[in-house]
Amino acid sequence: MKTSKNKLSDSISIASNLQKLDDLILLINPNSQGGNTGKNWMDAYRNVKKFLPRRHKIIFTKKANDGISMTCKLLRKGYKNIVAVGGDGTINEVANGFFDFDSQQTRDNIKFRLDPRLELINPKGILHIIPSGSRNVLARSLELKHQGVESLIRIRHMKRRKIDVIAATITNKDNPSLTHDRIVLNAAEIGVGAEIIDRSKRARGKVKNRFVSTMASIVATLPSYNSNECDIVIDKDKKISTKMTMGIVANGRFIGGGFKAAPRAKFSDGLLDIIILKNSGSLKMLEKFIQLKGTSTYKYEEDILYYQASQAVFLPKQRDVTVTVDGEPIGILPAVFKIYHNALNMKCEAAASSRF
């Protein structure tokens, strides 16, 4: 059932009187799931209200990065229970709002160094995850059974745990002298996969259908995409020089499209999972990747490298290489990724298996 703009405004106004610091704050992206989250919110709220704690407030995001700024403000005021309701991008934004970055970095034509220090804005803060997107890749990596309303109904029974986060510093595409600091929850993609995501996002401004925009981006990207010469430095002492069609830096096992790209990844092992698809042609490489379906550990694959480490630096030698974070285009290489063990307090539905 669709809600009117007036009813939606009434719902938003619930958040105007935040008084009790232990309230549960729901940050909701109404545009997630193709806009269905917002359209169906009043019906959904009537169904879940009795399952929520009595003291809860609702805030809707309006534009990109609202999740980051709103979460920061709430945590600085002393609120600690923040619920992210939306897709992977929304959940990523809210997670980023939990942290202050203190980066010491040098960037010129030769050097790109990073020693990031993460500090929680509120050490008692807890991120509650309610998947409500079109793909919910993070939820798949976490092995969650439910999403949206079904997940909200179970919010009182969510399990608290600590989760690793990846701190990433990524070059600004429009001004390469600048960088973006970003937390990664599930995975960052580099190269052809990231380029497809970037083109698909841009096409969606004209083509609203996600499947059509994705297929159009695949057709536009794959035939002309070439591998890129890169230096990859792992844990500061292992340097690899290789052509790279696609790179993945993962905290979870799955990426978009249902690929189990990092079969050994766990969310609380203190390790990055780094996958490098090397110098085969794009079509051949992706065909090979699809055939693997994550059932291999990649030990015997000549064209695929797989490492577990605490830090990785990607330095391109030729052209701009696109980087996405949890399904959102962020910038280009060079980029640095560093794992922070059990850095975030999180609550979500109990996983389908004991693996975490």
Model confidence over 13-24: pLDDT tens digits? Answer: 444 444 456 799
pLDDT at 259 over 60: yes
- pTM for the predicted model, two decimal places: 0.88
pLDDT of residue 21: 60
Say if residue 106's pLDDT is above 90.
no
The pLDDT-based confidence of 34 (bands split at 50, 70, 90) is confident
Task: Please tell me the distance from the alpha carbon of residue 234 to that of residue 323, in angstroms, as a whole number.
Answer: 18
Mean pLDDT of 300-314: 88
Q: Can you give the pLDDT at residue 300?
A: 59
Helix (H) or strand (E) holding 219: helix 210-221
Per-residue model confidence (pLDDT) at position 196? 86
Q: Where is average pLDDT lowest: 81-90, 101-110, 153-162, 278-287?
A: 101-110
The rounded distance, in Å, linking the Cα atoms of 350 and 105 is: 39
At 59, the pLDDT band (50, 70, 90 cuts) reads very high
| Residues 6+ away with beta carbon under 8 Å from 49 | none
> What is the mean pLDDT of the segment spanning 103-129?
70
Q: Give Cα 25 to chain centroid, integer Å.
A: 21
CB-hemisphere CA count at 13 Å for 47? 13
- pLDDT on residue 212: 65
Please give the pLDDT value at position 296: 55
The pLDDT assigned to 304 comes to 85
Question: Across residues 204-211, what is the average pLDDT?
Answer: 63
Stretch 7-34: mean pLDDT, rounded?
67
Angle at Cα 147 formed by Cα 58 and Cα 40, nearest 5°? 55
In contact, 182 and 89? CB cutoff 8 Å: no
Here the tokens at position 190 are 């580099």
Q: Which of 291, 311, 314, 313 is nearest to 303 (CA)?
A: 291
How many helices and strands, by DSSP H and E, does the chain display?
A: 10, 19
**pLDDT, average across residues 29-56:** 94
Residue ranges and CATH numbers for the domains of the chain are: 5-163 (3.40.50.10330), 167-342 (2.60.200.40)
